[in-house]
Each structure stands twice: as structure tokens, then as C-alpha cells.
Amino acid sequence: MLYFQTWKVALILAVCALGVIFTLPNAFTTQTVESWPSFLPKHQVSLGLDLRGGSYLLLEVDTASVERDRLNNLVDELRTALIASHVGYTNLGVAGDHVSVKLTDASKYQTVHDAVVKYDPDLQFTTEADGTVTLKPTQEAVQKRQQSAVDQSIEIVRRRIDETGTREATIQREGDKRILIELPGVSNPEHVKALLGKTARLTFQMVDSNASADEGRAGRVPPGDVYLPASENRPGLPTGYVVRRRALVSGDMLTDAQPTFQENEPVVSFKFDSVGARRFAEATKENVGKLFAIVLDNKVISAPVIREPILGGQGVISGSFTAQSASDLALLLRAGALPAPLTVIEERSVGPDLGADSIREGTTSCIVGVILVVLFMIVFYGLFGIFADIALFFNLCIMMAALTLLGATLTLPGIAGIALTLGMAVDANVLIYERIREEVRGGRSLISSLQAGFERAFGTILDSHVTTLVAGALMFWLGSGPVKGFAVTLSIGVLTSLFSAILVTRLQIVTWLRRFKPKVIPI
Amino acid sequence: MFRPLIVIRRIPNIDFMGMRMFGFALSAIMTIGSIVLFGVNGLNYGIDFSGGIVIEARTPQPADISAMRTKLDNLGIGQVALQGFGGPNDVMIRVQRQPGGDQAQENAVTKVKQALGPGVDYRSTNVVGPTIGAELIRAGTIATILALVAIAIYVWFRFEWQFGVGAMLSTLHDTITTVGLFALLQVEFNLTTLAAILTIAGYSINDTVVIYDRVRETMRRYKTMGFSTLINKSLNETLSRTILTVSTTALAVLSLFFFGGQVLHGFSIAMLWGIVVGTYSSLFIAAPMLYYIRPKGVHGRGGEPAPSSTAAANPSPGTKTGAP
């Protein structure tokens, strides 16, 4: 134990040196680091939002609504199929997680089955003696749909946030149906939240000129129609419209949308793709003189008259827009509709000066902690205490270097983890030194006391480090945000302290022995 | 050559086993008391767990809390609690969770900001929905239980199952009393506090491991020694390192307590308590418990704990702790 092979010495020194080199950029401002020559490392540890300021939003995708929409569509398809194949039915509707219908003639089951399977092959059919048929989407199909709804939502959220010009935003899936958004530098996320709060499903639907809006509001609408309220109540305009359920064209056929002005009013201009343009042209050709509704998230923005066929696949949406709301709507249309509504279930925003305060407080407590521990070790162990303190310095460097290189995010609890591991790192030294003392008292020679001290303390040190690592690993696994940051620094610190407290200390003691050939151990 | 300024030269001779009944009684009181306090008072859950709205605001002039309260009380957003903290310009505004969906929380935040008017700097805004809190409490409880079990398994693996049981009970004791302390003081219990409790579980086992290591070593060396004498001897021989290792960690945590700011307050309180109670439980619970669960290899039939007169006759500090 008191002999180090040359390569081991080289390795230990190299690790220490690398630790110092890679920690160095963290001690300077980003501007200073950038002016360094290119051979020096420039990575700095990334700071969490609680330190640099910014917003953290946790969104939940309303996957239940995806399924609800799906079942409602299934009812529509089924009705069409039943009517087309002249099958009599009653009690058609959604019931919980399935659709059920009662056929007047149970023998027509196969016809219905074949017609519906064409529309959706992932259905489980059950029939009862009285002719009731239930159609239930398979578990896999439901899961797949929800999965893709979340994936799609993440994509749309990313597009919307990119469009706002927010830099360095991270958007990632969290668990089954949640999306985590981090917006560094944005301490007031109201605008982002407003943009994410809309599904932005745009459709163009014909207004049913034969139905009255008042009847519709009371819930009496002709079959195939639906009553939709106006997005805003404006004097002289109806508060709602009865429109055809079937959409002429929808927002997913848009290729572009831009805010612009028409007669000094902010409007949104849009452009359809070829399919959309053709459909729009056909529909407007057939319905000249009638009203069509521009519907956003089931609210009618405006219902202009079709004066002439719109053949170019371009148009404008006017409503009571402000410049801001027109530009927001254009953004939403460009980014696309969300497959399901999103809700913000957690929001944390930190202003930049609070972050700066946290950094200052965290750093102060680390520095004070280090000074106290360093003094403590010198007071109780003299020269060996200084050895331990030097090892502690390298521990701090290697730990910071590891955090920097691993791309870990440093949070305020993470800084607490650093302070804590600094206190715990010298525990290993204490265990070794106390054991050496004991061996010396037991009458052993200098060399064999040192040897026994390191050897016997090792098992104990390992045990105590493993138990702390167990706790750290569990925190990382089950914890969220701040707790994770703490778990990372704690675990890395425990691992690096194992290296520094044992190897770095031992190397110093061995060198000291060789150089000074002491007769007694100064502890 | 630097010599240490302070050296504990004498190996103390404290009859820990003689005090074991006192230790068990104290721990029983603390544990039961903690459970009762937890049941009666509950914990002062922070926003992480309870959900709701917390806004940290800084006013341009020293904050007039009562004037702000009057403004906020009439907003119809339920109970609003204001509290000064940090500097004279800093106010923490807590709004209870709003009935209704997420939009209701948002509206409440907007109302508060409007009512306070311009010029106020919002240093942080936190809105947490109710589902999150419940999930976090569940995950936290699971993590703590798993940590206790994992640590016990590790100790069992490294020693024998009897040691594992002792380690788990004393660690359980440490975590329960930490929760009890928070129920008693009603200091805010948040995510970092939970992290502290898990860290305590991992850390408080350290002294226990050091002591168990020594008990095992002594058991092997003095095969005929009475078990209670043996435990006492091990505790006394390792006492200085127990105290020193705890002190270094306590120093680090103390600096967090005094300089780490508001956010880490709960964390450092929990850690400080955990360090102290963890040491106590290693000495007065974990070690004496071995006397009752008797690891294999205890040959000494000196079943009764040694009276203090026998303990005083322990081998002198110079005892050779020889090599095999």
C-alpha cells in the first residue's frame, strides 16, 4: 500500500490536473472564457432555472378528449353506414369507453360490422341477444392514439414556441402524457401560456341559412348541424350560428398564415395547399351568396358572405383583431392545431435577480463550509489535516469537472449537495486517521500503522459511501426537478470523494514518507 | 512538522449499555411523539405538496404588508397570506388553491399582480396543481421506504441479518423523528426537505456501519468477552471518529443553515437534526439492539450487560489491536 507504481501516480495526478482544468471555466464569466485560446476547455456547468432565471411549465395533454372525439366520430361513421345500408337502429351513442347501438334486425349485424371495420379495424365487437351491438376500441389502439397525440402535441408546442423566438427552450416528454417546458430567461411566461392554451383547430363550415340561431341556442338544431357561439359579442352581429357539422376545409390544409392589414384593420391572410385550394374553390363556387363560418376551437370568429368563388386558395380572416391577436392567430395557424387541449399543471418562474441571489447564497455557504472544514481538519490532524484539505480541494475540482462534462444541471439544492459532500468527503480521512492513531497507540511501527490504517478503514468507508449512493440513486429515480439536481451532485460528490480521500491522500502521505523519512507520525 | 492542536488521547469509558434502557425509552417517546404530532398537527406542506400559488414580490419602497393585504383581501380569491421575509422590501404572497381548473389559478395570479399595481418586481411565481402534490408525496414516501429497505439489505449483505435489522430500525427512527420535528416546529415541508430525509437515511447509517464494523471485529478477536462489554468497548473505541465525522458534516450543514438563504432553510434544519439524531441512535439504539438480536458468533455467555464497575476494567487505551 505504501508503494505506488509510476503509472498509478501518473494516473492520479492526471485525474487531478484534468479536474482543475475542466473546472476552471466555471470560475470565470462566460465572456472571459470565450476569449481564451481554443485549446482550453470552455464548457461551463449549466445552471438550472432557479439559478439563471426562467420559467418551467409542466403541461398535461388531455388524452381523454382524444378518445372522446374518436368515439363521437365513430358514432357519425356508424350512423352513415347504417343509413347507407338501410339498417334500422335505436339508441345509437357513446357510452363510457365504447359506442353502442341497438339494431332492429339483429341479422344485419355482419353488414354493419363490415362497413365499420373499413373505417376503423381496431374495434372489438360484442353482440347481445336483443340486437345491441357495442364497439370498443382495443386497448392497444387507444394507447397508440394517446401516444401519438402526446408526440404530436410536443411537436406543435415546439413549433409554437420556436415561432415566438424564445431561445434555448427545452421541450421534453415527462411520463405518459406530460410535457415539460423550460424557458430560460423568460420570467413572465404569460404570452407563451396563452399561446399553448389554445388548440387552434380551424375549420371553414357553411352556415345553415334555414335554421335560426335562437332555436340553435336552445338546443334544437336540424340533423347534421351544430350550434356554435361567436368568439366575441359584437353589436349588430349574431351571438351564435347554426352551421353544418361537416367542415369544408380545415386548418391542416394551410401552408401559410400571416398577420396583415386590410382597410386599416388587422387581419390574418392564409394560403391553402393544393387539396385545400381545390376544395375551397368548389365549395365557394357552389355557395355564392351564402354565409360561411370561420371557426376556431368551436367558436365562430367571423361569418362572411361568399361574394364570388375563391379560386386562388388564398384569403383573409377578419374579426375584431388587434395587431397582437392577429399575429398570435397567424402563429397558431402556421404551427398547426393541437390534437388535444393542454393544461398547465405546474408553473415555476424565477426572475433573474432572485437567481443571482441564490447563486450568491449558495456559493457563500459552500465557501464558509469549506473554510470551516479545512480549519477543523488542521486543528484536529495537523499535517495530515493539510493532506486531507488538499485532497478536498481536488475533490471539489473533480466534482465540478464531472458535473460540467456530464452536462448536469446545477440547481440550488445541487449546490447544497456540494456543500454537504464537502463535509462528508473528509469523513473518509477521519476514519483513516483515527484508525492510524489507534494502530500507533497499539504499539505498531510507523509504516505498519499507516498501512493498517488505510487497509482497515477502507471497508468502512466503502460501506458508508454505498449507503449514501443508494439514497442518491433513489432520489434521482423518484425525485423531480430540484431533488434530482441534489441527487446528482450528492452522488457524484460521494464517488469523487472516494477517489480523493483515499488515493490522493495516500499519495501525499507516501511522498511525504519518502522525502522526509519521519520517525513519528504527527497525529 | 504540523502537529494537531487537539488530540483526544484517552479512550473514553462510557457505559452505553448501562444506559440502554434510558435510550430505548427516550427513542420510544420521540418516535411515538413524532407519530402523534404528525397525526394531530400534520405537516406544514409547502406549495410543492399542497398545490396553490406562491408569489415572491419585491416592492420599490419597504413593503407595507397591511396595505397590500387590504388590496388583496377583496379580490375574492379566498385566503391570501402575506409574509415578510429576507429584506424589508420582500413579501411572500400565498394564495390558496383556487376552485376550478387551471385557468382559475392563472386568473388569480393575474388579479394579484393587477391589484398590487406596477413597480412591483415579481421575483418568482409558483403555481402547482393538486395532482402534482399528491404524486410527489407518494413518490417521496416510496423513495424513503425503498431507501430504508435497500440500506438494510446492504448491511445484511455486508454483515449478517441481525445487523441489518438494527440498522434499519435506527434509520427508521431517525427519519420518523425528523418528520416529527417538522410536525412540531411547523417549518415548511417541501421537496428539498424530502431530499434531506432521504439523505439522512443514507448518512445516519454511516456511524452505525462504523460501529458495527468495530463490533464485528471485536467479536472475532475476543471470542469469550461478554457481549455487552464487547459492545461498550467497540462504542468507546470508535467514539472519537463518530464525533469527528459528524462534526465535519455538521459544519457544512451549519454554513448552509446560516448562509444558504430561505430556500434551503428546511433542508438544513432537517439535515442538522438528522445528523445529531443519527449519531445518537447509532450509539444508543443500533448498537444496544444487537444485544437483543444477537448476531451469530457471539460466544461469550456474559449475557447480562456489564455493570459499570466491570466496564471500567476494560482493556486500557494501549490495548494492542493487533494484526492477524
Task: Please say whether the beta carbons of B13 and B312 come within 8 A.
Answer: yes
- A519 three-class SS: coil
Task: Round the average pLDDT of chain B to a whole number and report it.
Answer: 83
pLDDT level of residue B1 (50, 70, 90 thresholds):
low
Nearest CB to A416 within list B5, B198, B267: B267
Cα nearest neighbour of B109 on chain A: A190
A349 contacts on B by Cβ (under 8 Å): 122, 124-126
The Cα–Cα gap between A436 and A449 comes to 5
Task: Please say whether the beta carbons of A141 and A17 come within 8 A.
Answer: no
CA angle A114, A119, A123 (to 5 degrees): 75
Task: Please say whether the beta carbons of A123 and A81 come within 8 A.
Answer: no
> Which numeric CATH code is attached to B17-45+132-307?
1.20.1640.10
Question: Is 50 exceeded by the pLDDT of residue B307?
Answer: no
Nearest-CA neighbor of A70 among A109, A110, A97, A91? A97
**H or E stretch at A155:** helix A139-163
CB contact under 8 A, A431 and B213: no
CB contact under 8 A, B102 and A459: no
Nearest CB to A522 within list B1, B198, B259: B1
Identify the residue whose cell numbers are 412591483. B120
Task: Please say whether the beta carbons of B115 and B77 come within 8 A.
Answer: no
The Cα–Cα gap between B137 and A319 comes to 47
The Cα–Cα gap between A465 and A428 comes to 9
B21 min Cα distance to partner chain A (Å): 28
B316 min Cα distance to partner chain A (Å): 10
- A384 three-class SS: helix
pTM: 0.80
Type of residue found at B1: M
pLDDT tens-place string over residues B212-258: 888 888 888 888 888 889 999 999 999 988 999 999 999 999 999 99
A383 contacts on B by Cβ (under 8 Å): 1-3
B204 min Cα distance to partner chain A (Å): 9
CB contact under 8 A, B195 and A482: yes
The half-sphere exposure of A507 on its side-chain side, counting CA atoms within 13 A, is: 20
CB contact under 8 A, A471 and B249: no
CB contact under 8 A, A380 and B244: yes
The Cα–Cα gap between A27 and A391 comes to 19
Query: What CA dihedral angle connects A211, A214, A219 and A224, to 10 degrees?
Result: 20
The residues of chain B that CATH labels 1.20.1640.10 are: 17-45+132-307
Q: Sign of dihedral through CA atoms A206, A208, A214, A215?
A: negative
Q: Are strands A265-272 and A292-296 parallel, antiparallel or unpaired?
A: unpaired
Nearest-CA neighbor of A139 among A149, A124, A151, A120? A124
Summary count for chain A: helices (H), strands (E): 15, 19
The Cα–Cα gap between A254 and A270 comes to 7
Question: Is 90 exceeded by the pLDDT of residue B33?
Answer: yes
Q: Chain B within 8 Å of A382 (Cβ-Cβ)?
A: yes
The half-sphere exposure of A500 on its side-chain side, counting CA atoms within 13 A, is: 29
Q: What residues 407-446 of chain A have any CB closer than 8 A to a CB of chain B?
A: 412-413, 416, 419-420, 422-424, 426-427, 430-431, 434-435, 437-439, 441-444
The Cα–Cα gap between A466 and B305 comes to 33
**H or E stretch at A289:** none
User: What does R_g of chain A's alpha carbons equal in angstroms?
Assistant: 35
Question: Is 60 exceeded by the pLDDT of residue B306?
Answer: no
Length of chain A: 523
The Cα–Cα gap between B308 and B314 comes to 10
Q: SS3 string of B35-101?
A: HHHHHHCCCCECHHHHCEEEEEEECCCCCCHHHHHHHHHCCCCCCEEEEECCCCCEEEEEECCCCCC
B241 contacts on A by Cβ (under 8 Å): 430-431, 434-435
Multiple choice CATH, A6-53+352-516, 1.20.1640.10, 3.40.47.10, 3.30.70.120, 3.30.1330.20: 1.20.1640.10
- A261 three-class SS: strand
A361 contacts on B by Cβ (under 8 Å): 259-261, 264
Q: Chain B within 8 Å of A92 (Cβ-Cβ)?
A: no
Q: What residues 314-343 of chain A have any CB closer than 8 A to a CB of chain B?
A: 343
A86 Cβ neighbours under 8 A, 6+ residues apart: none
pLDDT tens-place string over residues A259-305: 999 888 899 999 988 888 998 898 888 888 888 899 988 889 888 88
Q: What residues 182-221 of chain A have any CB closer than 8 A to a CB of chain B?
A: 187-188, 190, 193, 197
Cα nearest neighbour of A360 on chain B: B260
Q: Chain B within 8 Å of A477 (Cβ-Cβ)?
A: yes
Q: Chain B within 8 Å of A362 (Cβ-Cβ)?
A: yes
Strands (E), A148-198: 170-174, 178-184
The Cα–Cα gap between A68 and B45 comes to 36
Nearest-CA neighbor of A477 among A467, A487, A465, A492? A487
Nearest CB to A427 within list B192, B249, B320: B249
The count of CB pairs under 8 A between chains A and B is 262
Cα nearest neighbour of A363 on chain B: B260
Torsion region of B18: left, alpha or beta (phi above 0 gives left; psi -120 to 50 gives alpha):
alpha
DSSP B3: P
B-interface mutation test, from A439, A478, A491, A497, most B Cβ less than 10 A away: A478
The Cα–Cα gap between A171 and B201 comes to 34
Q: Are strands A132-137 and A98-103 parallel, antiparallel or unpaired?
A: antiparallel
Task: Please say whether the beta carbons of A233 and A293 come within 8 A.
Answer: no
The residues of chain B that CATH labels 3.30.70.3400 are: 52-128
CB contact under 8 A, A441 and B318: yes
Q: Which three cell numbers stand for residue A181?
A: 417546458
**H or E stretch at A213:** helix A213-217
The Cα–Cα gap between B295 and B215 comes to 10
Q: Chain B within 8 Å of A116 (Cβ-Cβ)?
A: no
B165 min Cα distance to partner chain A (Å): 15
B1 min Cα distance to partner chain A (Å): 7
Nearest CB to A423 within list B123, B147, B249: B249
Q: Supply the pLDDT for residue B299.
A: 53
The Cα–Cα gap between B268 and B260 comes to 9
- A95 three-class SS: strand
pLDDT tens-place string over residues B113-133: 888 877 888 888 888 887 787
The Cα–Cα gap between A243 and A300 comes to 10
Nearest-CA neighbor of A376 among B22, B255, B230, B206? B255
The Cα–Cα gap between A34 and A43 comes to 10
Question: Is 80 exceeded by the pLDDT of residue B314?
Answer: no
Q: Which of A43-52, B57-66, B312-321 has the highest mean pLDDT?
A: A43-52
Cα nearest neighbour of A521 on chain B: B3
> Which numeric CATH code is attached to B52-128?
3.30.70.3400
Q: Chain B within 8 Å of A178 (Cβ-Cβ)?
A: no
Q: Sign of dihedral through CA atoms A116, A118, A119, A120?
A: positive
Q: Supply the pLDDT for residue B317.
A: 41
Q: Comparing B8 with A452, which gets the higher pLDDT? A: A452
Q: What residues 18-77 of chain A have any CB closer than 8 A to a CB of chain B?
A: 50, 58
As beta bridge partners, residue A179 has A59, A173
Question: Is 90 exceeded by the pLDDT of residue B281?
Answer: yes
A-interface mutation test, from B154, B221, B248, most A Cβ less than 10 A away: B248
Q: Supply the pLDDT for residue B253.
A: 94
Length of chain B: 324
Q: Supply the pLDDT for residue B297.
A: 65
Type of residue found at A82: L
The Cα–Cα gap between A252 and A156 comes to 12
Nearest CB to A427 within list B7, B245, B321: B245
Q: Supply the pLDDT for residue B102.
A: 66
- Regions of chain A with pLDDT less than 70: 1-2
The Cα–Cα gap between B292 and A149 comes to 59
B267 contacts on A by Cβ (under 8 Å): 413, 416
A-interface mutation test, from B198, B267, B279, B282, most A Cβ less than 10 A away: B198
pLDDT tens-place string over residues B206-216: 888 889 888 88
pLDDT tens-place string over residues A156-206: 999 888 888 887 888 999 888 899 999 998 888 888 888 888 888 889 998
Multiple choice CATH, A197-346, 2.40.30.40, 2.40.128.20, 3.30.1360.200, 3.90.70.10: 3.30.1360.200
B102 contacts on A by Cβ (under 8 Å): 343-345
Cα nearest neighbour of A368 on chain B: B255
> Which numeric CATH code is attached to A63-142?
3.30.1240.20
- Sequence ranges of the domains in chain A: 6-53+352-516, 63-142, 197-346
The Cα–Cα gap between A300 and A303 comes to 7
